[in-house]
Amino acid sequence: MQSTILGIVTFIIVFGILVVIHEYGHLYFAKKAGILVREFSIGMGPKIFAHIGKDGTAYTIRILPIGGYVRMAGWGEDTTEIKTGQVANLTLNEAGIVTRINLSKRYLNRSSLPMNVTSFDFEDKLEISGLVLTENKTYQVDHDATIVEEDGTEVRIAPLDVQYQNASVWGRMMTNFAGPLNNFILGALAFVLLVFMQGGVENTSTNVIRVSAESAVAAAGLESGDAITQINGTEITNWEELKQSVSAATETIDEKPQLQITYERDGQTKTVMVTPKETNGNYQIGVSPSLKTGFWDKVVGGLQWAWESLFMILNALKNLILRPSLDQVGGPIAIFQVSSEAAQNGLTSVIYILAALSMNVGIVNLLPIPVLDGGKILINIIEVIRRKPLKKEIEDGMTMVGVVIMVVLMLVVTWNDIMRAFF
């Protein structure tokens, strides 16, 4: 039971960090592009906390601690809907201009003016009309007015000049790319942190080794910091030569092999006989590369690890496209299982999973499927080539196709996860 709870908590934290960092990238660059972000939410479902920042964004925390989202003003992102005849309580400033439209059941201002709304325009004319008592009235709406939605969430209205589609194409492109970019940055930082936690980065260019406790070479008297110079008479100058020599010396031997290992310590050379230990059909002597422990060695080593991880994921994606198989993909259930296993193995395993998943999220979101960031970037590129935007109907149609593809894919992947986990 305790391990299950630990797994759930780890999954929530890892998944939450990935989504929040991703969405913050969109938030930051949307602001830079002049796009109004109406809401930045951590979690899903009913709201439990909300605060409107000076930037006009409503920062909310919702009850389900999984995921999050950014609501950007504009078509395909977020719109305001008020039904004809719906009651709205209007807050007016001293000049008689509306500064808040309250659609919820909550009374936020005792002096607010109730209206049965007949029409409104919060994009161009910035006005709202309706029946006040027995008289039809029209009021001007402030550019930065807020609207309290039926669930109690208060957000800014969205005039045309702060909508997504009215930002520059390059601003929109950077806004769309910023989410995956943040995931790549998070992954790289996590890999760098891992290198610092393990004390350094492996130095494969030398023959200096680290010795595992209770290993074959430890029993023979070798210690971390020794340099292996020969194995069965073969000269050793780096880690790759050491691995190849051990493999070559053990692959054709049926009985327990013995290796003649020559090593140096404090300027003295010694030779010992070592009997490798068999693990899953492979013989191991129990050594690993020495570590480079300089600050910049660790930073560069972590970034190289991130780079290698990125290309490993890209290669896996290429193989998946060339040879499709559901066994090569996983959904939320698979992520939960991996997170749970990592939680049992300690903090370093959790950070590694966070780093690897962050890279995965970044790459998947760049796939050219309209509902994903990559699909939006593709639309931006088409707009650059055509030198004019796509029609709203075409863009909406492409997005709907993307939604259908992603929903079907998620259902299939989740079902496959269930079959693998429980049957």
DSSP 290-349: EEE-SHHHHHHHHHHHHHHHHHHHHHHHHHHHHS--GGG---HHHHHHHHHHHHHH-HHH
The DSSP-derived string for 345-412 is H-HHHHHHHHHHHHHHHHHHHTSS-TTSHHHHHHHHHHHHHHTSPPPHHHHHHHHHHHHHHHHHHHHH
Residue 256 has pLDDT above 70, yes or no: no
**51-75 pLDDT per residue, tens:** 888 888 999 999 888 778 899 998 6
**Cβ–Cβ < 8 Å for 204, 240:** yes
Distance CA 45, CA 314 (A): 34
pLDDT greater at residue 178 or residue 7:
178
**379-388 pLDDT per residue, tens:** 899 889 988 8
Distance CA 229, CA 225 (A): 13
% of the chain exceeding 70 in pLDDT: 93
Active site residue 77: no
Whose CA is closest to 229, among 257, 256, 265, 281? 265
**Cβ–Cβ < 8 Å for 147, 120:** no
Q: What is the mean pLDDT of residues 217-243?
A: 91
Strand partners, 203: 290
Distance CA 369, CA 375 (A): 4
Q: How confident is the model at residue 327 (pLDDT cuts 50, 70, 90)?
A: low
**363-406 pLDDT per residue, tens:** 989 988 888 899 899 989 988 998 888 887 887 788 788 878 87
pLDDT confidence of residue 252: 65
What are the residues whose beta carbons fall under 8 Å from the beta carbon of 93, sequence distance 6 or more?
A: 99, 142
Residue 106 has pLDDT above 80, yes or no: no
Strand partners, 34: none
CA-based R_g, the chain, Å? 30
